[in-house]
Every structure is written in structure tokens, then in C-alpha cells.
Amino acid sequence: MTEYGLYGDDGRGDYELPGGWLAVGDDVHTTALDNTLEALSAEAAPDRLRRYYDREGHYAGTLFLDVQPNFPNTIEPSDLYALTTLSIDVDPLQGRLLLDSSSQQRQVRRLLRSIPDDLPLTDIGSAGAEMLIRMEELHSLLRTSLGGSSNRWVFASKLCARKRACLFPVRDNLVCELLGGWEKLSPGNGRPGNFRVDIQVYAFLVTHPEVRSLLAARRGELHESGIEVDLEDLRLLDACLWMAAKAAR
């Protein structure tokens, strides 16, 4: 039986999920939405974002995407440096497998070529369920075959977001806990902290009218202050959620 993911905008309808994927429950969407709206509308939200995007400060700001070159279908040393701006340590073996000629490198390039670099998560349904399979395959390859620390799923999440900025969210423990209502992460419980769940949750959030309105308001405030921010809503949402989760912990 085919399952369907939900957009946050009722007018968009839904989108087909791959076989074996389960649709996220309404309660999960509601919890994620409530906590996201709270993070975006909090009195402290503008100041948190100013600190994150302050070019004289120590947060990544736009540097994560600004570091060049950023070729769409290859991994370069610049991409690994970009990861370090988000507090990711790149294991030497990971670097060799991604930068040197290897079977892993060839698989990563093949998958990157199969995922358009201009496809937004807001329109994921237009690409069909097969695109979600490719996205999961890329994330899984980076998570499981490159070794490294126990947080290699975070490494994979951030590298995917670097290469496909409008499609993959930046996910880590803090943000997933916030979206899940601060429940302890457990990949098999149907809540955030699992790739199949998180992609659906973020597709719901970035298409929700209230979220989009608040993102526009936060972006406008920063622009009026002369602060450069990421162009992609998904990246601005990442920054707001992470700063809110960090403040809560």
C-alpha cells in the first residue's frame, strides 16, 4: 500500500513515499511545528540569528555555503573545510575515501549526479518517490561506509546539506530533540532522529505558511540591520532551530 507524505500548505496536497516508508504521524508534525514556531517567534530569535550570522563572530553564518569551490557533483577539500565550520571533525580516513580515487568516491559522485542541484525540498513530490530513495542512499553511503565517529550520521547530514543546500536539512541530536519535543532520540520510534522521518518533517515545515512567514520576517529584520544571511529558507531554518536548541540546552 502506497504511503504519502504531507506538505504544510494544504493547497499542495501530498507526495508519494517510496515502498517501505511510513508516513509521519500527525502528532509528530504537530509537535515539530509547535516547537519550530516557538523558535522562530521567540523574543530572542532575532538576536540569536544576528549572532549566528555575525561575520565578526565565531558561528558559521553563510560561510558553510560560501566556501569555494562548491562543485555540485564532486567532493573537494573545500567541502570538508565547510563541514568544520559546523563543528564537524573530518576523520583522515573519511577524507581519503572522499578525495582519493576509491569505490566510495565513485558511488558518491554517481549519486550526486542523480540528484538535481536545484531541486528544493518544497517541491520534492515533483521528482517522484525515486528521488527520496536516491537521497536516502546518498545519506546512507556517507553515514555507513566512511567510518569515523559515532556521530557519522551528523557528518552525512551536513555534507548532504552542503552539496544540496535547498534539499537536505542540517540535522543533529539537538535539533532532532527539539523537533521531537525533547524526547530521547530513538531511530525506530517514528519520531525525529531518523532520515525517513526527518525529511518528511522538514518538507512539512518549509512549506507551512506560518513557518514561511516567520522566516521572511526574520530575514527582513537581518537585512535591515545590514546582516547577510543564507538565501535558502532551509538554511535559515536550520540556523534558527539550532540556535534555539542550543539555548534550551
CB atoms closer than 10 angstroms to residue 166 = 19
**pLDDT, tens digit (0-9, with 9 covering 90-100), for 73-108:** 999 999 999 999 999 988 888 888 899 988 989 999
Determine the longest span between alpha carbons in the chain, in angstroms.
Answer: 53
Distances in Å between the Cα of 67 and the Cα atoms of 7, 64, 81 are 32, 6, 8
Of the listed ranges 61-75, 88-102, 118-132, the one predicted with least confidence:
88-102
Among the listed residues 133, 156, 158, the one whose alpha carbon sits nearest the alpha carbon of residue 146: 156
Q: For residue 226, is it left (φ>0), alpha (ψ between -120 and 50) or beta? A: left
Q: For residue 13, is it left (φ>0), alpha (ψ between -120 and 50) or beta? A: left
**pLDDT, tens digit (0-9, with 9 covering 90-100), for 11-26:** 888 999 999 999 999 9
